[in-house]
């Protein structure tokens, strides 16, 4: 039996100033679709084949217009990453991250400027350490 993740990836964007006057749209098979004989199929259907696409789990697009972001995010679910990159280059301001079925993330060249830095590693406070050491004694 194939196990599906409820949310395949967490896309963190830098503080909203980085995407001001832009729109974020995500499309993918991780949320909607249908199951047949223990296998999940996307609700996004490739119009060239009439079949659900399974290689792309999620596509997130930042663009200047909502129509562009939404259309590109859906289209990227059926295109190859290379075809997605070519299409995105034709739309001013479009940046993307695509998550493939194997977990690989394909990002546009400008995505890095939008992505947030990883969360800092948290260290226990001295108070927590004291209580933890008292409990161990």
Cβ proximity of 95 and 114 under 8 Å: yes
For domain 16-136, say whether CATH 2.70.70.10 is its number: no
Give me the sheet containing 95-100, strands edge to edge: 23-28, 56-63, 95-100, 105-107
Task: Report the candidate in 23, 22, 98 with the shortest Cα–Cα distance to residue 60.
Answer: 98
The beta-strand segments (E) located in 32-94 are 33-36, 39-42, 45-46, 51-52, 56-63
Pairwise pLDDT comparison (125 vs 57), residue with the higher score: 57
Confidence of residue 118 (pLDDT cuts 50, 70, 90): low
Cβ proximity of 29 and 40 under 8 Å: yes
Domain boundaries, the chain: 16-136
- pTM confidence score: 0.69
User: What angle do helix axes 81-89 and 66-76 make, rounded to 10 degrees?
Assistant: 160
The pLDDT tens digits for 7-53 are 344 454 444 445 567 788 888 877 777 788 887 777 787 878 888 77
């Amino acid at each position: 039996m194939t196990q599906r993740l409820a949310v395949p990836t967490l896309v963190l964007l830098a503080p909203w100033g980085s995407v001001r006057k832009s729109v974020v749209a995500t499309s993918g098979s991780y949320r909607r679709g249908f199951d047949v004989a223990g296998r999940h199929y996307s609700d996004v259907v490739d119009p060239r084949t009439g079949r659900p696409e399974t290689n792309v789990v999620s596509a997130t697009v930042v663009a200047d217009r909502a129509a562009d972001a939404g259309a590109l995010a859906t289209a990227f679910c059926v295109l190859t990453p290379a075809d997605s990159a070519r299409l995105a280059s034709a739309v001013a301001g479009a940046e993307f991250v695509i998550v493939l079925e194997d977990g690989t993330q394909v990002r546009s060249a400008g995505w890095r400027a939008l992505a947030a830095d990883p969360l800092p590693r948290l260290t226990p406070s001295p108070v927590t350490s004291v209580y933890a050491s008292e409990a161990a004694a």
